[in-house]
Structure 1
């Protein structure tokens, strides 16, 4: 698919789409079954090299990506379930209701994982808040399609509809996309910045916005764990800007004679 936005924005990195399908694409990268893995490293390969990435219910990488890709949730069963994740996402051992049991669980893990479990990722100020986030606040989807496909927008075929269109952009490009979105949306605050994993900021948070009659864009790569994963692959000054399909189509139309025709944009080129 040719995109007016991409043509005028000229991002250095590939704009991607995330879609669901029952058809397995040829020559797609896919991690090994059951392997624990941060899928943002695969995302980075698609952004830089234009690779097509394939996921299914056995190759989604980690519990965060299970939710992010619309395969339901694994937070309730993986790694000790909600209790362990709520402790891990808050302050680790000092948040644990049964410290010795939690420490014994952590001791069985590889050294890097063990240290994070003990200290906690500290994404939430308390175990109670973290528990509410994973069990109630996080939007969950369990789409019936077998596969999730991540690939460049330019490779989207006629008839294919993406769930999420993902721009990976620098600050000037991001400013322009936010301006473009604000120019067509009613009200203010056209972009959300959810607390979550980077894969969720291009996936399930975007799916949720896609259900709205007035969907917002989702700003992403705001996950320190993912930033560590992609630090030596992607520039430090890029963020993701993901939009549901119907918002993307509206932005495409406005891009023809909107902000890209402004002297403000032209003067920055």
Structure 2
């Protein structure tokens, strides 16, 4: 499956197709990395990867990939430790210190122990983390696996549910304009505060089920960027759209600003 957008934007990485499936492709790699977003990097290099409940590498990946609802109660130390993990950290209270000791004795990854102790600082208070959790979409999984693969690898007649483009700031600006090009309004693209996996799967899957689906800008998750910067580059963000929107955008390339003076000049054409 070809992409006019990929050619017009001179993308560094291939467009990626994302689908639910009950049976993953035979060539799909199922790995267990600490951060499941490392699978995105492998797909960007041409591989087919599959994520399931059993291969989600961190507590939030199950929810982030739209495979089920993560339970804060299942996090090390339970709900309170989870709320503190995303905010103020766990080293300042007795229960948290006890869990840190257990993680240390179990030889847990150093980065996990450090972030569990000092907190990720993504929200100011545990209460704000709790409130944020209530706003996360709750969708019904349409398969046991989420498969990510190059769009070009799809067979004739296959349709992706989502398409992710890995882009630099110039390319991202073009995609924001293109997403609004043929649609009314000014908010056909959104940037939710979310984990890296949720920005390419959960939120776009939720958008695909809306009457007026929007694209989602992702890889704004600091933790995900930490893992991916050496593999994809420090300037890369994601732009994920439901297939209906991406197909519309792709069909508008030739008549849009992508063939006009400003963009041609920026691209040195």
Q: Would you say the 8 A contact 2:19–2:162 is kept in 1? A: yes
1:82 aligns with 2:76: no
Query: Paired residue for 2:119?
Result: 120
Q: Would you say the 8 A contact 1:69–1:148 is kept in 2? A: yes
In structure 2, how many angstroms separate the alpha carbons of the residues matched to 1:214 and 1:186? 11
Q: Would you say the 8 A contact 1:67–1:141 is kept in 2? A: no
Question: How many residues of Structure 1 are paired with residues of Structure 2 in the alignment?
Answer: 261
SS in 2 for 1:125: coil
Consecutive unaligned residues in structure 2, runs of 5 or more: none
Aligned match of 1:101 in 92, 95, 103? 95
Query: Paired residue for 1:6?
Result: 6
Q: Would you say the 8 A contact 1:75–1:85 is kept in 2? A: no
1:36-62 Cα shifts (integer Å, max 9, x gaps): 620111211211x21110112211222
Query: Paired residue for 2:161?
Result: 163
Deviation at 1:144, TM superposition (A): 4.1
1:60 aligns with 2:39: no
SS in 1 for 2:204: helix
Instruction: Normalising by structure 1, report the TM-score.
Output: 0.91
C-alpha distance 82-162 of structure 1, shift in aligned 2 (>3 A): farther
Instruction: Normalising by structure 2, report the TM-score.
Output: 0.91
Q: Would you say the 8 A contact 1:20–1:145 is kept in 2? A: yes
Q: Would you say the 8 A contact 1:107–1:114 is kept in 2? A: no
- Across the aligned residues of Structure 1 and Structure 2, the Cα RMSD in angstroms comes to 1.7
C-alpha distance 46-223 of structure 1, shift in aligned 2 (>3 A): same
Deviation at 1:267, TM superposition (A): 1.6
Moved more, 136-145 or 226-235: 136-145
1:10-69 Cα shifts (integer Å, max 9, x gaps): 20112111101122212221114xxx620111211211x211101122112222211121
